[in-house]
Chains A and B, each alone.
Chain A
């Protein structure tokens, strides 16, 4: 069964460092998402991406964040200068069209120290 894969599963980084979280969406999907979940809290929308551009973003997704689909298969989330409060689980999701099931990866646990 096709699945969304995320790497790494766990990343530890020092405050102020840049991190790149990687996702490989399901191959025929067109819509891509990043969410984050601080431990024990809700799943928060960060950004959606379609047709090689951002289609929606939340207030969390400020200038420190960027997304890219560099090679037609990977979908990356970059945090330029990490802060302690960026520590969370980051989930990537994809779907083939609007209004259909979104498939989530297993997440990357980001720890900023």
Chain B
């Protein structure tokens, strides 16, 4: 099955700084690469995703970059705000399964 690793496990930044979280996966057949945000007491919610035929996607302050050769994709958050504080999960998938990374706890200090 898919082996998914996320780094770092915790990340603390000052408000306004950028944050980058990296996800490495093992299954070269993975073709869908989402990032989910989980706030305390809630279920994960998709914030951005990318498919295997695209190298980069941006949505306002959030971007995802994909390197299929190296089998990793990264979440980039610019101009971080306190409300970005949460746990972020990558979940690379192929077909019908979706395995989550261990999560990165992002803390944005005002």
* Interface positions of A (Cβ within 8 A of B): 4, 31, 33, 35, 41-45, 48, 50, 55-56, 58, 91, 93, 98-107
Contacts and interface: CB of A to CB of B under 8 A. Distances in A.
Contacts of A43: 38, 44, 89, 100, 103
Contacts of B98: 33, 45, 48, 102
A101 B46 contact: yes
B69 interface: no
Contacts of B49: 101
A99 B31 contact: yes
Q: Interface extent on B, as a size class?
A: 20 to 34
Interface in B64-110: 89, 93, 95-103
B95 A98 contact: yes
Interface SS majority for chain B: loop
Interface of B: 1, 31-32, 34, 36, 38, 41-46, 49, 51, 89, 93, 95-103
B43 A106 contact: yes
Given A56-B97, A99-B51, A101-B46, A42 B102 contact: yes
Centre residue among A31, A55, A93, A104 by max chain B CB count within 10 A = A104
* The 7 A-B residue pairs with the shortest CB-CB distance in the complex, in nearest-first order: A104-B43, A99-B32, A43-B100, A56-B97, A42-B102, A101-B46, A55-B96
